[in-house]
Amino acid sequence: MAISFEPSEATKQARAHFHSIAREQLRPISRRYDDQEHDLPTEWVDWYWRNGRGQAPQVDGPSDGFVQVCVQTEELCWGDAGLYLRTPFAGLGGSAVLAAGNSEQKQRFLSVFQGDGHPVWGAMAITEPQAGSDSANIQTTAERDGDDWVLNGTKIFCTGGEGASQIEGGFVVVWATIDRSAGRGGIKAFVVPAGTKGMTLVGLENKLGIRASDTATLRFENCRVPTGNLLGSAEVHKKGANKDAKAKGGGKGFKGAMATFDASRPIVAAMAVGVGRAALDCVLETLDREGATPRYDAPPTEQTALERDVIEMEAELQAARLLTWRAAAMMNQGRPNNLEASMAKAKAGLAVTHITQKAVELLGPGGYSKKLLVEKWMRDAKINDIFEGTQQINQLIVARRILDYPSGMLR
């Protein structure tokens, strides 16, 4: 079967559209909101919401679906990854609702993002002080009390958590255990609307990179949500339960979280590709001005060290992009992409870290100073190797899937 890597006409036009937005709306304010970390970028938020959420023009012909979403993400992060994360959209919280919610919940919580009201945000709260990469060690509890679930615990590093928890219409999807003895089987997801009593914004992180984004700590103290805000079934299947019982239960607890990551990791990989491409473009533009364009047709033995570095950077970026598109294309086809999503995320995290550091090196004092945005992109890059599963966790997932090992056999 022939395989084409040529994007559809719709994707090509979407790329040009979002590149224009990145160049005209994000780049001009990029440095300001890197310096003013916790200020809301109102000009970007209002422009995006007012202009149809930045929607690309409609084009006749087939769409590339989730691949086009990744292309859009790459372009916007070429502009600024931190501002992209501050964009008013459903975010990871919306991905969790789509992965684990029923049709009524999807309509109830996501329709506001299509309305004409004020900008709103969604977020997901899963990481805890003692549960980072080990998501199964979640200690936040949810206890049933009549028609409500009562949540207690603390969540950290919640991307988009400020807007999602404070501004009416937004929501935070909180992962909590309803039965600690059940391990992963007891972990469920609850939608907590913004402003819910008992959900408190404790503080915002001061970060190395993606400083324009709001990374929040949220505390839940006797926080009540209706039973209808539970995503999936409340039935708990303890370790060793038979598969038929699990299937009948219909629960989408911990597996729902993992399914969310299978959708979000290609997006994070696309973010990394966008930041890496910004740094590489800056290097190439500088070399072109200096009359030092790399000689791609020269034998490797005759190329300079600089030429070999640039060609390697380009190869790394393209490999990360193609892995990202592959994972996204599998989602379009409804095929399991757990392995491919982790491969894309792991490769892109390594590639963007290497590319941005090399860009700073090749550009010398200018690359290290604030005269250029390259030093900022180097700082922005590292998070792509950490959130949505660290480099080590994603490599572990890849190894388990290739070797067909259960989680207990490879740690």
Domain boundaries, the chain: 9-89, 92-101+117-254, 257-409
Integer-rounded Cα radius of gyration of the chain: 22
- Which pLDDT belongs to residue 245? 44
Return d(Cα 17, Cα 21) in angstroms, integer. 7
Say whether pLDDT at 241 is over 60.
no
User: Residue 240: which pLDDT band, with cuts at 50, 70 and 90?
Assistant: low
Architecture of domain 257-409: Up-down Bundle (1.20)
Q: Does domain 92-101+117-254 have CATH number 2.40.110.10?
A: yes
The fraction of the chain above a pLDDT of 90, given in percent, is: 76
pLDDT by residue (tens digit) across 100-121? 899 999 999 999 998 889 999 9
Q: What is the mean pLDDT of the chain?
A: 91
pLDDT by residue (tens digit) across 9-63? 999 999 999 999 999 999 999 999 999 999 999 999 999 999 988 787 777 777 8
User: Residue 175: which pLDDT band, with cuts at 50, 70 and 90?
Assistant: very high
User: Residue 137: which pLDDT band, with cuts at 50, 70 and 90?
Assistant: confident
Say whether pLDDT at 239 is over 60.
yes
- Which pLDDT belongs to residue 252? 59
Tell me if residue 388 is catalytic.
yes
How far apart, in Å, are the Cα atoms of 170 and each of 94, 103, 118, 307?
10, 18, 10, 48
> Which has more confidence, 271 or 60?
271
Do residues 348 and 323 touch, judged by C-beta distance below 8 A?
Answer: yes
Can you give the pTM of this predicted structure?
0.92
Neighbours of 345 (CB within 10 A): 35
User: Residue 133: which pLDDT band, with cuts at 50, 70 and 90?
Assistant: confident
Return d(Cα 266, Cα 277) in angstroms, integer. 16
Sign of CA dihedral 74, 76, 82, 88: negative
Say whether pLDDT at 1 is over 50.
no
Among 162, 205, 314, 388, the one annotated catalytic: 388
Per-residue pLDDT averaged across 86-100, rounded? 92
N-terminal to C-terminal alpha carbon distance within the chain: 37
